[in-house]
Amino acid sequence: MGFSQAVSGLNAASNNLNVIGNNIANSETSGFKSASVSFADVYASSQVGLGVKVASVSQNFKDGTVNTTDNDLNVAISNNGFFRLTDASGSVYYSRNGDFSLDPNRNLVNSSGLNVTGYAATGTPPTIQQGANPVNLSIPTTGMAAKATSTGTMVLKLNSGSAVLTDADFDPNDSATYSFSQPLTTYDSLGNPHNMSFYFVKTAENTWQVHSVDGSNSTATPANLGTVKFDTNGQLTGTDNFTVNVGSINGSAASAFNISFAGTQQQYTTTSSVSSQGQNGYYAGDLTKYAINDDGTITGTYSNGQDQLLGQIVLANFANPQGLKSDGNNVWTATSASGQAIVGTAGSGNFGSLTPDALESSNVDLSKELVNLIVAQRDYQSNAQTIKAQDTIMQTLVNLS
């Protein structure tokens, strides 16, 4: 019996204990992936085996449990994928820990200060350019500019039993000269609200004349937009949309928008009414809150009630995740064994899904690790016993000499 086998066994058991201890120590580390040791025998021809060696330390990339949090910037990955991070020098790292925050410059970073990367939102309105080069993401406090109304909609139910009136007598200040009116607030290029009112005058059976008045402009006069007509079933026929000119107030530019009455019906009802209405303009707003969505998009909500895309977190995947090199701080780097990173978005291709306001816990199974710890300890003690036995044999031989 030689000492080398026992020493190799002690080294192997020690490495196994180190890995198990590291697993246990990181049982509460978000996104941590447990590891295990694989062993191989050492053998020389025409000799008894020379012992054991550590063949590899493999990581288990099985999902950890997803736990909800109260942090809008926390996000958990389920199934395939890693967050893509960069440092100040541009080096790229990968992580499963989605515990993100904002730095003093409002860049999205992880707990070690690495920048979270993704697709930027560009254009007006901002959109995501899929497949572009990932950039460092941020959540700026820049406000949203006002948008002038360009389209409006109004779906009405006009009372077919209304009396026929003379359109020439129309006066917005005299309710006896029109059959129905409905207000709609629109906005100009500076975000000034325009309190538009639309008036409907029944001039003949199945025929209604439409007028508009800009109540926010003291110099505005009523505008005759045109005629809407209905068939005998009460459905619109012919033109159902009109151009509305809007004057300048408070330094804004004069503008125009299109109003659509598509879907409006003429029916016998007690009173005319509006079913729905809307328009696409808004006043300027400040960022009030933000959220990460399940597809990785980051959405800002503004004081004007509008939402706007701010960017989208990308995920990275590898042909062989086992080939990734652990760099500490819960991040990995790509190697030739892992292959190059494949970048995409959550829910697409072979990428996993994201859970906002949540973190992926460590996938360490403490019960299993404690059992492994006992086994590794026994391995270490047994190898120590072979050294003790060899020492006793050597001492006996010395005493015989």
What pLDDT is stored for residue 289 in this prediction? 94
Residue located via tokens 């460092």: 136
Question: How far apart are the C-alpha atoms of 228 and 213, rounded to whole Å?
Answer: 18
Strand pairing partners for 344?
315
What's phi and psi for 30, nearest 5 deg?
A: -60, 130
Cα 184 to its chain centre, rounded Å, is 34
Taken in order 342, 113, 71, 61, the sign of the CA dihedral is positive
65 exposure class (CB count in 10 Å sphere: 0-12, 13-18, 19+) = exposed
Q: Are residues 31 and 85 in contact, defined by beta-carbon separation less than 8 angstroms? A: no
- What percentage of the chain's residues is helix, strand, coil (to nearest 5)? 15, 40, 45
Q: Tell me, yes or no, if the pTM score tops 0.85.
A: no
The strand pairing partners of 181, in sequence order, are 199
State both tokens at 339. Answer: 């292959």
Angle, in degrees to the nearest 10, between helices 3-25 and 366-400: 160
Q: Which two tokens stand for residue 243?
A: 């151009």
Whole-angstrom Cα Rg for the chain: 36
CA dihedral 339, 341, 347, 348 (to 10 degrees): -80
Q: How far apart are CA 196 and CA 281, in angstroms?
A: 13
Whole-number Å distance between alpha carbons of 38 and 46? 25
**CB neighbour burial string for 26-54, b if at least 16 within 10 angstroms, e if fewer:** beeebbbbbbbbebeeeeeeeeeeebbeb
Kind plus residue range of the DSSP H or E element containing 256? strand 255-260
CA distance linking residue 160 with residue 17, whole number of Å = 86
Sign of CA dihedral 225, 270, 153, 196: positive
For residue 149 the two structure tokens come to 């109304």
Tokens 């005998």, residue? 232
What per-residue confidence (pLDDT) applies to 375? Answer: 92
Cis omega before residue 321 (within 30°)? Answer: no
Residue 111 half-sphere exposure toward CB, CA atoms < 13 A: 13
- CB atoms under 10 Å from CB of 398, counted, come to 8
The secondary structure of residue 107, as a DSSP letter, is B
The upper half-sphere exposure of residue 224, i.e. CA atoms within 13 Å in the direction of its Cβ, equals 10
Closest CA to 152 of 305, 277, 276, 283: 277
Residue 85 CB contacts under 8 Å (≥ 6 apart), including other chains:
92, 93, 94, 95, 110, 114, 115, 116, 117, 331
Q: What is the pLDDT of residue 46?
A: 60
SS3 383: helix
Q: CB–CB of 107/118 below 8 Å?
A: no
pLDDT beneath 50, residues of the chain:
none
Domains, in order of start, for the chain: 3-62+362-400 (no CATH), 69-133+312-358 (no CATH), 151-279 (2.60.98.20)
Which two tokens mark 142?
A: 């820049």
